Structure 1
Amino acid sequence: MAVLTVPITLVQAAKQGDKVAFMSLLEPSLEPGYRLACGMLHDSQAAEDAVQEAAFKAWRKLGQLREGHALRPWFLGIVANECRTVRRSRWWSVLKWPKSEHPVETSPDSGLSGIELRRALRRLDLNKRMVLVLHWYLDLPLDEISAITGISVHAVEGRLQRGMSELRRLMETRDEN
Structure 2
Amino acid sequence: MAINQATLTLVEAARAGDDSAFEALIEPLLPPAYRLANGLLHDRHAAEDAVQESALKAWRKIGRLREGSDMRPWFLGIVANECRSAMRTRWWSVIRNVLPDTADESTAEAVVEGIDLRRALRSIPPAKRLILVLHWYLDLPLDEIAQITGTSEHAAESRLVRATQDLRRRMEASRGRR
- The answer to whether the superposition gives a TM-score over 0.5 is yes
Cα distance per residue 1:132-161 (max 9 Å; x no partner): 000000000000100111111111111111
Higher RCO (CA 8 Å, separation ≥ 6 residues): 1
Q: Counterparts in 2 of 1:15-164, with a 5 A limit?
A: 15-89=15-89, 92-94=90-92, 96=94, 105-109=101-105, 110-164=110-164
Structure 1 unaligned spans of 5+: none
- 1:112–1:81 distance in 2 versus 1, CA, 3 Å: same
TM-score by length of 1: 0.90
Partner of 1:176: 176
Alpha-carbon RMSD: 2.1
Structure 2 unaligned spans of 5+: none
CA distance in 1, matches of 2:26, 2:127: 24
CA distance in 1, matches of 2:79, 2:139: 16
CA distance in 1, matches of 2:61, 2:171: 40
Amino acid across the alignment from 1:93: W
- Tell me the SS of whatever aligns to 2:66: coil
CA distance in 1, matches of 2:104, 2:3: 35
CA distance in 2, matches of 1:173, 1:99: 18
Equivalent residues of 2:121, 2:129 under 8 A apart = yes
- 1:174–1:80 distance in 2 versus 1, CA, 3 Å: same
CA distance in 2, matches of 1:159, 1:141: 14
Cα distance per residue 1:48-75 (max 9 Å; x no partner): 0000000000000000011111000000
CA distance in 2, matches of 1:24, 1:30: 11
Partner of 1:9: 9
CA distance in 2, matches of 1:68, 1:134: 22
Equivalences, count: 171
- Deviation at 1:104? 6.0
- Deviation at 1:115? 1.4
CA distance in 1, matches of 2:132, 2:16: 36
- Deviation at 1:5? 2.5
CA distance in 2, matches of 1:117, 1:95: 18
- Tell me the SS of whatever aligns to 1:17: coil
Equivalent residues of 1:77, 1:148 under 8 A apart = yes
- Deviation at 1:93? 3.5
Equivalent residues of 1:80, 1:130 under 8 A apart = yes
CA distance in 2, matches of 1:33, 1:124: 20
